[in-house]
Amino acid sequence: MQVTGKVVVVTGGANGIGKALCEAFYNAGAAKVVVADMDAANARAVAAMVDGAAFKCDVAQEKDISHVIEETERQFGPIALFCSNAGIGGGFDPMSVNAGGASDEPWQRSWAIHVMAHVYAARHLIPRMKARGGGYFLNTISAAGLLSQVGSPAYSTTKHAAVGFAENLAISHKADNIKVSILCPQGVDTNMLRSIPKGPQSGDGDLTPEQVAKDVLAGLEQETFLILPHPQVLGYMRKKTENYDRWIGGMAKIQARMREEFGK
């Protein structure tokens, strides 16, 4: 798809990758870029830069997502592209004392933001998109959803679930001309990455959010399901499926090195 002349919504658009997506869509001639984020001040600032609109929205709340969709379509017209991009990096423990963690809180929060937010967007947009003959979802996930995130079971698990949902979204609605892309980078230089200790996610170099946004525009143009700003990830996926046990062993070695480093 081309975003030129289209109405686009970006959740988590106030900072980082989402902000760069908003700028890239604006520069590519989108008719309206809607920034939906809990961080209302930065959402307004980004919206002002891209001649867009801002909504304060907690993507974990279904009513917030349905409000953004309804109001966007009422004010600006049909949403051609909905980007579920908001995410959190909580629950990181480099020592991985217990993969089950100590409480439900980081699991439930990650589940709500990384998975249910994508489900709510689909629930409220699919009927509208079906009625008008198509649409596009871009879901920002992570290479952690295809591989793993050592030290963060809640992040890895919910990002894997997000891949599962996106696959099903694409399968269920291909016949409705509804397209889906998943964005799965490794390290990207944003507040989220800076909030966790440096680890294997940065092994192939951290990208700028602007570079990732460029890759997204190219991926949307080609309408590929998988958008991999770090092309190395495809090789890691192949290695994982080729020999799962060897792959688990390699990841466990990374975990052991991490424990050594952070246990000092």
Ligand X SMILES: NC(=O)c1ccc[n+]([C@@H]2O[C@H](COP(=O)([O-])OP(=O)(O)OC[C@H]3O[C@@H](n4cnc5c(N)ncnc54)[C@H](O)[C@@H]3O)[C@@H](O)[C@H]2O)c1
Among 14, 81, 166, 217, binds ligand X (CB under 6 A): 14
Q: Under the criterion CB under 6 A, does residue 229 sit at the interface with ligand X?
A: no
Among 68, 82, 83, 87, binds ligand X (CB under 6 A): 87
Q: Under the criterion CB under 6 A, does residue 58 sit at the interface with ligand X?
A: yes
Among 3, 15, 118, 122, binds ligand X (CB under 6 A): 15
Q: Under the criterion CB under 6 A, does residue 219 sit at the interface with ligand X?
A: no
CB 40 within 8 A of CB 54: yes
Reported residue count of the chain is 264
Show contacts with ligand X in window 141-170 (CB under 6 A).
Answer: 142
Strand arrangement of the beta sheet that strand 135-140 belongs to: 53-56, 32-37, 7-11, 79-84, 135-140, 178-183, 226-227
Tokens of 191: 């507040």
% helix, strand, coil for the chain, step of 5: 55, 15, 30
Determine the Cα–Cα distance for residues 252 and 233; give it in Å rounded to an integer: 18
User: Please, what is the end-to-end C-alpha distance for the chain in angstroms?
Assistant: 50
x-or-dash string of contact with ligand X, 59-78, rule CB under 6 A: xx------------------
Among 3, 50, 53, 57, binds ligand X (CB under 6 A): 57
Nearer to ligand X, 123 or 130 (CB): 123
- What is the distance, to the nearest Å, from the Cα of residue 72 to the centroid of all Cα atoms in its chain? 21
Nearer to ligand X, 119 or 176 (CB): 119
Q: Under the criterion CB under 6 A, does residue 18 sit at the interface with ligand X?
A: yes
Q: Which residues bind ligand X (CB under 6 A)?
A: 11-12, 14-18, 37-39, 57-60, 85-88, 113, 140, 142, 185, 187-188, 190-193, 201
